């Protein structure tokens, strides 16, 4: 029988057997070759007991209380985000694939997949399985178009997981003249430098906001004297750095931690932009909006590709984001070098999944290989 990786309870991964369903007319069956989980939002569900009794209501556009769901478990929970494999069987009405074709898509970590042919895509020639499973983080990072990075901007990327490492490359595509990478994990900082970051900083080793401000270009907008309104209102104009301060033009926050978000706010210049790609799984303890954010008149924008329609739809859709990200990966313009680490055999998947949760410093994006069993 084929096997799959699931969480049977919070923080309890397990490999178990399952039965393949009968093949439908328009369905294909895929044998897995390579797979990878999502280290951000997927881990939130993996860690949570669920059943909070609260959920997002698309009609109202906000989270509402749902007492009837309180205590309801979402386990067993499939684990995994993307996979690459080979078609081993096809229904009689399938037109896009035939046995032997290599495909990829958003599939969980399991040995086989039986699904409608529309839910898989051909693996482009020359695209490695490691790069293919990086399509999801590439699309997530492409949402940073909302940051409106401009030619010559200074950009800081907070959080160097797979999405952050894609984001720093895209910041350079957008015309940034300086890209700073921030993460407490040494291995991730080294990959960031290899992928084009100018400097990589450890936020646990120093006051990262001051370190960023020393590196970022200063604003040069001196005025002879404060305006009358400022003197009358007793504002902050007497601070000598009001128009000589430093900071990046744009900070992209991908760490998923409130500490990272606070660091991004503190590192951004007067009037600059903080673009958030992260999901924060709990309360925002430690977030201080009465300090730099208030005084420096900054702009925060939440960028999320799943919040449809996109702000600049119909010119941009999720399909267009996917097409652009895939083209960049296939051409090699967007690199996945060093991002898939570690890579382990499927037999070790449960231990490896537990490791990425408990020891994130040992991984960037986990890769899992499959060996065909006879």
Q: Where are the domains of the chain?
A: 3-134+339-369, 140-302
The order of strands in the sheet holding 154-158 is: 199-201, 178-182, 154-158, 248-253, 268-276, 299-302
Long-range contacts of 72-77 (CB under 8 A, 24+ apart): 73/49, 74/45, 74/50, 75/7, 75/8, 75/9, 75/10, 75/50, 76/6, 76/7, 76/8, 77/6, 77/7, 77/45, 77/46
* Residue 22 contacts residue 115 (beta carbons within 8 Å): no
Q: Could you give the C-alpha distances from 55 to 58, 64, 66, 78, 306, in angstroms and in order?
A: 10, 6, 7, 20, 16
Q: What is the pLDDT of residue 79?
A: 98
Q: Mean pLDDT in runs of 10 for the chain (374 residues)?
A: 97 97 97 96 90 83 85 91 98 97 98 98 97 98 96 98 98 96 97 98 96 86 53 50 73 96 96 94 85 91 92 94 97 96 98 97 97 59
Residue-wise pLDDT for 274-315, tens only, equals: 999 998 877 888 899 888 898 899 999 999 998 989 999 999
Q: Which CATH class is domain 3-134+339-369?
A: alpha beta
User: The tokens 């069987």 sit on which residue?
Assistant: 89
Q: Where are the beta strands (DSSP E) in 106-238?
A: 112-116, 121-122, 154-158, 178-182, 199-201
Q: How far is CA 285 from the centre of its chain?
A: 22
CA gap 208, 75 in Å, rounded:
39
Q: Phi/psi of residue 136, each to 5°?
A: -60, -50
CA gap 374, 372 in Å, rounded:
7
DSSP state of 316: S
The order of strands in the sheet holding 77-78 is: 12-17, 3-9, 77-78
Q: Phi/psi of residue 114, each to 5°?
A: -120, 115
Helix (H, G, I), strand (E, B) or coil at 174: coil
* Residue 79 contacts residue 351 (beta carbons within 8 Å): no
Dmax over Cα atoms in the chain, in whole Å? 83
104 torsion bin: left (phi>0), alpha (psi -120 to 50), beta (else)? beta
CA gap 365, 179 in Å, rounded:
22
Q: Using the CB atoms, write b or e for 152-176: b if 16+ within 10 Å.
A: ebbbbbbbbbbbbbbbbbbbbebeb
Q: What is the pLDDT of residue 371?
A: 82
Q: What is the CATH number of domain 140-302?
A: 3.40.50.720
């Amino acid at each position: 029988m084929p096997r799959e990786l699931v969480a049977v309870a919070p923080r309890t991964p397990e490999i178990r057997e399952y039965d393949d369903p009968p093949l439908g007319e328009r369905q294909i069956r895929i044998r897995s070759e390579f797979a990878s989980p999502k280290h951000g939002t997927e881990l939130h569900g993996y860690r949570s007991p669920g059943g909070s009794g609260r959920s997002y209501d698309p009609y109202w556009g906000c989270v509402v209380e749902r007492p009837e769901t309180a205590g309801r478990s979402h386990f067993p929970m499939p684990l995994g985000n993307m996979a690459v494999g080979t078609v081993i069987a096809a229904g009689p009405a399938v037109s896009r694939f035939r046995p032997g074709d290599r495909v990829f898509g958003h599939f969980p970590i399991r040995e086989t997949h039986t699904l409608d042919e529309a839910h898989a895509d051909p693996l482009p020639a020359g695209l490695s399985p490691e790069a293919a499973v990086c399509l999801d983080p590439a699309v997530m990072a492409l949402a940073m178009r909302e940051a409106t990075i401009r030619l010559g901007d200074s950009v800081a990327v907070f959080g160097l997981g797979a999405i952050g490492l894609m984001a720093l490359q895209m910041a350079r595509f957008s015309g940034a003249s300086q890209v700073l990478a921030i993460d407490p994990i040494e291995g991730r900082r080294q990959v960031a430098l290899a992928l084009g970051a100018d400097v990589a900083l450890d936020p646990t080793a120093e006051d990262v906001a001051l370190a960023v401000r020393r590196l970022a270009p200063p604003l040069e907008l001196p005025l002879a004297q404060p305006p009358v309104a400022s003197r009358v209102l007793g504002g902050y104009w007497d601070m000598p750095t009001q128009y000589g301060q430093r900071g990046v033009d744009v900070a992209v926050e991908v760490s998923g931690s409130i500490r990272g978000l606070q660091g991004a706010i503190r590192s951004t210049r007067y009037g600059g932009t903080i673009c958030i790609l992260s999901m924060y799984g709990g309360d925002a303890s430690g977030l201080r909006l009465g300090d730099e954010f208030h005084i420096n008149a900054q702009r925060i924008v939440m960028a999320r590709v799943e919040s449809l329609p996109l702000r600049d739809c119909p010119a941009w859709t999720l399909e267009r984001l996917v097409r652009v990200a895939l083209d960049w990966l296939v051409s090699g313009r967007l690199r996945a070098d060093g991002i898939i680490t570690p890579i382990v055999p499927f037999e070790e998947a449960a231990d490896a999944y537990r490791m990425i949760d408990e020891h994130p410093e040992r991984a960037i994006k986990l890769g899992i290989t499959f060996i065909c069993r006879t």
